[in-house]
Amino acid sequence: MTYELLNFSRIINIEINELSSWHDDPDQLDLELKAESNQIRDTIHQSIVLMEPEKCKFTLFQYQQAISTILNELENAIKNECQPSTQNEPKNKNLKSCRKAAEDLLVLLKSDFPLYFDYSMLLNQAATERLKTKLKEQIAGCSDLLKVQGVDDQTIEIFLQLFEQLLHPKKNFSYEQGAYLEDFFEQLNESCIVANKPLETLEIIQTIVSLNFNHPAFYHLCCNYFTEAIEKCENITEQYRILNFLKKNFKQVFKLSISTYDRKLPVIEESVQRFLDAELEYLRSLEATAEDLSSTGLLESNFKVTLTIRQLAIFIHLQVEANIILPQSPKVLHQYVTKHYSTIETEKISEKSFKNAYYGNKGTDVEKVIDKIVTMLVIAQEKY
């Protein structure tokens, strides 16, 4: 405990540890706490002006940490006094007066020494609960605004699940994060209000990126959105187009905030660009591998089959189920087949049509595929 805070802390500890209120007169308690606060402030002012900047930061950190510890002890005592079995109204009132005095002293340190205040320190319990209450209101307001802007319920639910992670009972915030989050939701809600057309999911994501919300859960939300967009493409050319479109859009995002949710984590725009670059590199590697195999004669550029798309999908699916083909993933298999096979119906098979046939209802096409397989077996028996 910092020396100047000893008497201030002693007054509060008596209130915490006494079975009943030690001060019968609440006004007298307020006067004592105020006098001690003024003396602490004057002492800090007189001592800090004579110190080097680094020493100032360390000294102020000690005061800040000590007051935060006092506040957490007070919060636990107040919660205990609120229990029906221990409720004591006079003592509870005095504990809240002590809490206000400690909070006011912390505010003084922050306002008088903004350059030396440690914003990376975690908020005390009471401040964290107040912040979460405000965030809950802001999140609800954001949900209402998205509904007004015509955003579908499923999309709203995705963003609500993201933001509600901030309200987890065990989640703590630093002073810096608390200030950022309040400003983040104010700007996000303002962006929803000024929108003059129904908001698309991509527009909401871009707005959040512009506000530098680099929460890990938001990064995963972006990745899932990009992956779903890629999987909807019918071929590699379309995948290239959508990936380059996304890269361009996120490079052009105008920054609305210079702060981030967590300064220890990468900037969200950079993380998004790395993900898109990796997807583009993956597509290029697929094409390069196919070109190498084709140029060396190991792989024909295209195999034409006498099956329909549905029948080819069934034939490939049966080989996968029989462990004849062991694909890296269904997606890679679909891309390979559509790139290197053509049918009697079309020279160019789209990934979407092949995927639908691969997982769709087989119908009478199964019988035609079975006939082909039976023919293969007869040839094998006759020749081998």
pLDDT tens track for 297-355: 545 556 788 888 888 888 999 898 888 888 878 888 888 888 788 887 787 888 888 88
Alpha-carbon dihedral 267, 270, 271, 277, rounded to 10 degrees: 180
pLDDT in tens, 8-20: 888 888 888 875 5
Q: Are 343 and 308 in contact (CB under 8 A)?
A: yes
Which residue matches tokens 């702060």?
A: 259
Alpha-carbon dihedral 200, 202, 207, 211, rounded to 10 degrees: 150
* The pLDDT value given to residue 81: 63
In degrees and rounded to multiples of 5, residue 304 shows phi and psi of -95, 130
pLDDT in tens, 117-135: 999 999 999 899 999 999 9
Segments of the chain with pLDDT less than 50: 84-85, 298
* The pLDDT value given to residue 85: 47
* The pLDDT value given to residue 27: 78
SS3 306: coil
Q: What is the CA radius of gyration of the chain?
A: 33
Rounded distance between C-alpha atoms, residue 60 and residue 118, angstroms? 8
